[in-house]
Structure 1
C-alpha cells in the first residue's frame, strides 16, 4: 500500500498537467527504509514525447548522488500517460528497475474534456505488475 500526502499527489498531478501533451516524469524521495515519500523531484522528460518518457541520465545521476548523501531512496517513481489509462505499458514494465519503489501513473487523457486525472500506484517486480491501494493523508 502506498501512503502519500494529498499535497504530493496534487503536485504530481499538477506536473502532469503542465507537461501535457508530453509525458511528465519524476521521483519522490524519502528516508531510506521508511517507505515514506517526502521530497518531490520533477524530472525532465528527455524524450519530450507524448507516448514515452526517459529520465535525463545526467539529471538522474545527480539526483541519486543527492539521495545517497541524504540517506534517501526513491520511494515513488512516477510518470504520466497522455492518451491511455494509468496502467504500466510493456515499456514501463521493462524499465522498472527499483523493486522497492511504488510506480505511480497519472493519466491526463481526459483533461481536454474537463475530466480528472487518473492516479494509480503499482509494484513492479521481475516483470510482474501488482496494483496497490493508495491512502492519502493530510
Structure 2
C-alpha cells in the first residue's frame, strides 16, 4: 500500500495538470529504507511529448546525487497519461528499474476529474496497490 500525505498527492496532481497536454514526470523521495514519500521532485520531461516521458539525463544525475547526499531514495516514480487510463504502458513497464519504488500514474484525460493509481512493477509484472491519504506523520509507509 502506498501512503501519501494530502500535500504530496495534491502536488503530483497539480504537476500532471500543469504539464498537460504533455506527460509530466518526477519522483517523491524519502529517507533510505523508510518507504516514506516525503519530498516531491518534479522533473522535466525531456521528450516534451503527450505520449511518452523521459527524465533529462543531466537533471536525473543531479537529482540522484542529491538523494545520495541526503541519504534518500526514490519512493515514488510518477508520470501522467494525457489521453489514456492510469495504467502502465509496455514502455513504462520496460523502463521500471527501481524494484522498491511505487510507480504512480495520474491520468489527465478528463478535465474535471483525475485518475490516480499506484503500482509495483517487478521483473515486468505489474501489481496495482491501494493508495491511502494519511496525516503527514503517518505517511511513513509503516
- Global fold match (TM > 0.5): yes
Q: Distance in 2 between matches of 1:44 and 1:62?
A: 13
The aligned counterpart of 1:17 is 17
Structure 1 regions of 5+ residues with no counterpart?
none
The aligned counterpart of 1:134 is 131
Runs of 4+ more than 6 Å apart: none
Q: Number of residues paired by the alignment?
A: 135
Task: Note the aligned Cα RMSD (angstroms).
Answer: 0.5
**Pair 1:50 & 2:50 matched:** yes
The aligned counterpart of 2:34 is 34
What SS class does the counterpart of residue 86 from structure 2 fall into? coil
Taking structure 1 as the reference length, what is the TM-score of the superposition?
0.97
Structure 2 regions of 5+ residues with no counterpart?
136-142
The aligned counterpart of 1:90 is 90
Q: Distance in 2 between matches of 1:130 and 1:136?
A: 19
**Larger relative contact order (Cα-Cα within 8 Å, sequence gap ≥ 6):** 2
1:117: Cα distance to partner?
A: 1.0
- Superimposed CA distance per residue, residues 13-68 of structure 1 (whole angstroms, 9 cap, x where no aligned partner): 00000000000000100000000000000000000000000000000000000001
The aligned counterpart of 1:8 is 8
Q: Distance in 2 between matches of 1:44 and 1:119?
A: 20
1:137: Cα distance to partner?
A: 1.0
